[in-house]
Structure 1
Amino acid sequence: MSDYILSVTRLIDAPVDVVWKIATERLTEWWCPKPWTTEIVEMDWRAGGRSAMTMHGPNGEAHPQEGVFLEVTPGTRFVFTDAYAVGWVPQGPFMTGVFEFADEGGKTRYTASARHWSEEAYKQHEAMGFEGGWGAVAEQLAALAEEEAKTS
């Protein structure tokens, strides 16, 4: 399984509570690399809750994402998967997303990982531009959180 994990990490110059708040309450502002946008369908922030959104591209592309949260530990981590739709209805899995937030001397160590069921899914995600895309998303989250930390 460890061979099928892609991840990014970034130290964000803002406290964990600020980064967590931005990550969960302002998802549409950082979730996908600009110029793409995110439309929230439903975010039920609890284990078993629905995680549904659509990512929209600048040329009219639409990529719906339907899944469930497996874990939500406020201020620490959230985990979701697309292996199930709400109500634990199985669907074709691609990945499980793990987003972790850890204090490092008043700053936040943000780590986002995508765990894949197969080498094929892993390679597909890598070829889609995982490193650049998820890195850009980390930068967008950091910019929002660092700005918020300055003003609070």
Structure 2
Amino acid sequence: MKNNLLFDFIVDKTTKTVFVNREFAAERSLVWDAFTKQELLDQWWAPKPWRSKTKYMDFKVGGKRFYAMVSPEGEEHWSLQQYTVIIPQTNFQMLNTFADKEENPELPGSDWNLDFSEIDGKTTVKISIKNDSLERMEKMIEMGFKEGFTMTLNYLDELLPQMKTQ
């Protein structure tokens, strides 16, 4: 059944934007929580065998999430997300930048827009990631973003049934 869920990954160099559309066999409220609650994000927001470690998260307009993706060897890659728009259960937007462990951002960053919709118990998340520069987008793609983000979203898909029972 899961094989027929929507998954698109489109890179548009002319607009410096990556579009990801992913469908999940779960209610919108659960998928929303998985994207917006620290304790759930840290369960899946990294491609295996990496893990996500949030130092702090304040999910509100103007709030931030400061986290690292941690390798099995303990190598940390830090990122900073600043929330700019939140429409509960429907949409949130954020500025995402790489950072050092002292929270100093590496600019330029990218603007993320995440839209959540549900039809017949399936939730679609439409993500657009607009980069400040073509160079940043190309660096992100070269670092394996498509493969890593695909793995990460698949990991969420595996975890959602367990999250329902928690």
The TM-score normalised by the length of structure 2 is 0.77
Aligned equivalent of 1:115, options 130, 138, 142: 130
CA distance in 2, matches of 1:143, 1:113: 23
Contact 1:8 1:135 in 2 (8 A): no
Q: Give how far 1:55 is off.
A: 1.3
What amino acid is the match of 2:122? K
Contact 1:8 1:131 in 2 (8 A): no
Which range is displaced more, 90-99 or 40-49?
90-99
In the alignment, structure 1 segments of 5+ residues that lack a partner are none
Q: Give how far 1:99 is off.
A: 2.4
The answer to whether residue 19 in structure 2 is matched with residue 4 in structure 1 is no
In structure 1, what is the equivalent of residue 92 of structure 2? 78
* 1:65-85 deviations in Å (ceiling 9; x for gaps): 1231111222112221146x9
CA distance in 2, matches of 1:148, 1:2: 38
What amino acid is the match of 1:108? T
In the alignment, structure 2 segments of 5+ residues that lack a partner are 1-12
In structure 2, what is the equivalent of residue 52 of structure 1? 66
Aligned equivalent of 2:116, options 101, 105, 108: 101
What amino acid is the match of 1:5? T
Structure 1 vs Structure 2: percent identity of aligned residues?
Answer: 29
In structure 1, what is the equivalent of residue 6 of structure 2? none
The answer to whether residue 33 in structure 2 is matched with residue 21 in structure 1 is yes
Contact 2:80 2:105 in 1 (8 A): no
Q: Give how far 1:90 is off.
A: 8.2
